[in-house]
Copies of this chain bind each other. A is one copy, B any other.
Amino acid sequence: MNHHRFFIEPSQIDEGRVTIRGPQARQICTVLRLQFGNEITVLDGSGCCHITRLSSTSPREVVGEITYTIQMDNELPVRLTLAQALAKGDKVEMVVQKATELGICDMIVFVCSRAIPIPLEDRIERKLARWRSIAREAAEQSGRGSIPTIEGAISFDDLLTRVPQYDVALIASETGTNMLLRQALETVKQGASVIYIVGPEGGYTDNEMEIAVKSGAVPVSLGKRILRTETAAVAGCAIIAHHVEC
């Protein structure tokens, strides 16, 4: 089971035969130097894991035959969405990678008053493409059966209109004497949808936090120390994932 893992589209499988082209074919053939008879693991994004024996390899096209298929069971027992405020530098990239390893299903990037502004349309498209590529690699590396979706950047108002769709909505907060994150998790049931919202470096305005609470988001504390935004994201996902895992 320690094969190299590749996510593919279900349409790349036809009657037990897998066809891989593009960068993945180049990686298999040129970088990993896999050959006829070697095995890889192919993931179709539905949680199915296909052990595949290569029958022909070239940098343009790799073909293999599925030898057996198993249903993976590596997902969290809740559907966890991370909402992360846009942040400087490569912080969001780090969060995408770590949160994927930790088991999130979806990620929403948002902007609010004290977050860095939404980049120009073409730049956010490039960023999204980069984040999705990181999520795919992290899902492959961590042995997950599906790749988290990534969406954004949306406004804080838009984010809050979605809060009622979730069974549980938590917003990381440093102010006041909020309940600890783990206390808020005590009532979470298997199969629940959970959104965890992490604000920008500069925090929220009072008004933003007020409307978040009115929307149904519960402010939670991660402890006494002040965490950077990316630390609050990764630490929160780790605590939630670990709490809900059987």
A residues with a Cβ closer than 8 A to B are 73-74, 94, 97-98, 101-103, 141-144, 180-182, 222-228, 231, 234-239, 241-243, 245
Nearest 9 pairs between A and B by C-beta?
A235-B238, A142-B225, A74-B224, A238-B238, A143-B226, A142-B226, A239-B242, A223-B245, A101-B231
Q: Determine how close the nearest CB of chain B comes to the CB of A235; give it in whole angstroms.
A: 3
Pairs A–B under 8 Å by Cβ, sample size 9: A98-B231, A101-B231, A102-B231, A182-B242, A182-B243, A223-B242, A234-B235, A234-B238, A235-B242
The interface residues of chain B lying within 8 Å CB-to-CB of A242 are: 180-182, 222-223, 235, 239
User: A180, A182, A224, A225 — which one has the most chain B CB atoms within 10 A of its CB?
Assistant: A225
Residue of B nearest to A241 (CB): B223
CB pair B101–A225 under 8 Å, yes or no, is: yes
Residue among A101, A180, A237, A242 with max Cβ neighbours from chain B (10 Å): A242
Knowing A231-B101, A231-B102, the reply to whether A144 touches B238 (Cβ < 8 A) is: no
Give the docked Cα–Cα distance between A74 and B224 (Å). Answer: 5
Q: List 18 other contacts, CB 8 Å, given A74-B224, A94-B94, A98-B234.
A: A98-B228, A101-B228, A101-B231, A102-B223, A103-B225, A141-B228, A142-B225, A142-B226, A142-B227, A144-B225, A180-B242, A182-B243, A223-B241, A223-B245, A234-B234, A235-B235, A238-B238, A239-B242
Question: How far, in angstroms, from A143 to B237 measured CA to CA in the complex?
Answer: 22
Closest chain B residue to A138, Cβ basis: B228
Given the complex of chains A and B, what is the CA–CA distance between A102 and B181 in angstroms? Answer: 14
Asked whether A101 lies within 8 Å of B245 as measured between CB atoms, the reply is no
Chain B's closest residue to A243 (CB) is B182
Distance from A11 Cβ to chain B, minimum over Cβ atoms (Å) = 27
Task: Quote the shortest CB–CB distance from A147 to chain B (angstroms).
Answer: 13
Residues of B close to A227: CB separation below 8 A: 101-102, 142
Task: Give the complex CA separation of A124 and B23 in angstroms.
Answer: 38
- Once bound together, how far apart are the Cα atoms of A97 and B101, in whole Å? 20
State which of B98, B103, B225 has its C-beta within 8 Å of the C-beta of A223: B103
Contacts of A224 in B (CB 8 A): 73-74, 143, 245
* CA A243 to CA B238, docked complex, whole Å: 12
Contact A225 B143 (CB under 8 A): yes
State the Cβ distance, A104 to closest chain B Cβ, in Å.
11
A208 to B159 alpha-carbon distance, docked (Å): 48
